[in-house]
Chains A and B, each alone.
Chain A
Amino acid sequence: MIPAAFEYHRPDSVEDAVKIISDHGDEARVVAGGHSLIPMMKLRMTGLSHLVDLQGIGGLKGISVDGGTVTIGAMTTQHELIADDQLAASAPIIREAALQIADPQVRYMGTIGGNVANGDPGNDMPGLMQCLAATYTLVGPSGERTVSAREFYEAAYFTAREDDEILTSISFDASASGYAYEKQKRKIGDYATAAAGVLISKDGGSCSAASIALTNLADTPIYCEEAVAKLVGSSLSGDDISAAVAAAVGASDPSEDNRGPVEFKKHAAGVVVRTAIERAIERA
């Protein structure tokens, strides 16, 4: 399990890191926590000759909440997300989801930036970020741009990020909505068989806003527009919920693998979406 040889870089600014990756093209990769990349390198499924470690860039870490906008630096670890009380007050769904990712050792190292940039359909944060309508900030040789999480994922391991861009931060609106991140997995530390993030706001007896996104139920995360439309404006009756669940399952497109056949995954999708909607309603 020894990866192929590479040259190691530890720049101390985003500009320097961007310069190294743009000089070396697809021979260079950044490493954040390394807990998706290093296993792939050990299996020699990822070839690179320059590894650019982002840990020395101070400005990439940290969580701030400013006037209702939450901004999280890409190098913030899952452990730090869980520990942050201000974040738990502004977006409690993040702690609920992060606690269901991997195990303690992995959470000390794995970063939010690595999790969302990786493009692995099994990662939990991309669906979560679609649920929160987050925006990613990317910095490349020609400057900075932002991309919506709902538009970032193109196919497994293909995203809107260019090879010479670094994802520097993620931001979204703080919300007082009811929330839930529900994940079905085979054992603790496993990737999802099916998972769903849900946000629901109520105004009197009716649903004033909602968001639903799925993890590991297609080769990208899925924001379920149709399912959301079934809830918004409804009274959140049993029939409304069932209609939303059916729409979300209809939007999923799982493939068969060692977590089960397609029918089973669609069944699991229905269960996690329903459970998440019901829990989010309780908390709204």
Chain B
Amino acid sequence: MEKMHLKLTVNGEQVETLAEPRELLIHVLRERLDITGPHIGCETSHCGACTVDMDGKSVKSCTVFAAQANGADITTIEGLGNPDGLHVLQEMFKEHHGLQCGFCTPGMITRAYRLLQENPDPTEEEVRFGMAGNLCRCTGYQNIVKSILAAAAEMNAAKEAAQ
């Protein structure tokens, strides 16, 4: 099948690539664009390890054809922070042991980022409900929830201090 010419914005940069329409967004990100932060856990739309932010929505990139994402603005874990400047969520996951093996973490943090954009001051229950599309095999979730609540508190304190 003929390849399509895809144009995307990924982590603020314009990128172009050729891909078959049937290629999934996760495969294009990882294999064609070398963006390996988002992981493939289940490949069946259940685990959320492949979560990326697409046009302001958290999506499972194993369940989106790259062709559907043509023209979209995508943010992955790489776009949220880096070792020299961690995002508050990354800091708080580190601080509160929000990860063990770390496999689910890029998806967790990318999803938590959008959750906090929509609901900057969530209750614990709202965090649990809002993170229901992300599975973790290690932590038992307790510390993930704690990390996200701590990040919300930090972000809100920083906002207040700036005012």
Residues of A within 8 A of B129 (CB): 188
Proximity bits, A21-41, B CB within 8 Å = 1, else 0: 000000000010011001101
- Whether A8 contacts B63 by the Cβ 8 Å rule is no
Min distance, Cβ A74 to any Cβ of chain B, angstroms: 16
- Indicate if the CB atoms of A8 and B67 lie closer than 8 Å: yes
Residues of A within 8 Å of B44, CB to CB, are 1, 39, 42
Centre residue among B44, B63, B115 by max chain A CB count within 10 A: B63
- Asked if residues A53 and B67 are in contact (CB atoms below 8 Å), the reply is yes
Are the CB atoms of B65 and A8 closer together than 8 Å?
Answer: yes
Number of interface residues of A (CB under 8 A): 29
Give the nearest-CB partner of B107 in chain A: A105
With A34-B63, A79-B57 already in contact, the answer to whether A2 and B133 are too (CB < 8 A) is: no
Contact between chains at A51 and B43 (CB < 8 Å)? no
Closest Cβ–Cβ distance, residue B106 to chain A (whole Å):
14
Residues of A within 8 A of B60 (CB): 105-106
8 Å CB contact of A103 from B24, B68, B133: B133
Complex Cα distance, B68 from A51, in Å, reads: 10
Q: Which residues of chain A come closer than 8 Å to B132, judged between CB atoms?
A: 103-104, 188-189
Residues of A contacting B: mostly: mixed
Smallest Cβ-Cβ distance to B42: which chain A residue: A1
CB-CB < 8 A to A234: which residues of B?
none
Q: Is B59 an interface residue (CB 8 A)?
A: yes
Given contacts A34-B64, A105-B133, contact A5 B22 (CB under 8 A): yes
Q: Tell me the bound Cα distance from A42 to B58 in angstroms.
A: 21
Give every chain B residue within 8 A of A34 (Cβ-Cβ). 63-65, 68
Judging by beta carbons under 8 Å apart, are B68 and A42 in contact? no
- Is A90 at the interface (CB under 8 A from chain B)? no
Q: Cβ of B78 < 8 Å from any Cβ of A?
A: no
A264 near B: Cβ within 8 Å? no
- Please name all residues of chain A whose beta carbon is closer than 8 Å to the beta carbon of B63 when the two chains form the complex: 34-35, 38-39, 109
Q: Which residues of B contact A8 (CB under 8 A)?
A: 4, 21, 65, 67
> With A and B bound together, what is the CA distance between A1 and B22 in angstroms?
11
Find out whether the CB atom of B59 lies under 8 angstroms from the CB atom of A109: yes
Q: Give 19 A-B contacts (CB < 8 Å), ordered by A residue.
A: A1-B43, A2-B24, A4-B22, A6-B21, A7-B1, A7-B21, A8-B67, A31-B65, A34-B63, A35-B45, A41-B22, A53-B68, A103-B48, A104-B115, A104-B131, A105-B60, A105-B111, A109-B57, A109-B63
The 9 closest A-B pairs by CB, nearest first: A103-B133, A8-B21, A5-B1, A108-B57, A105-B133, A8-B67, A1-B43, A103-B132, A188-B132
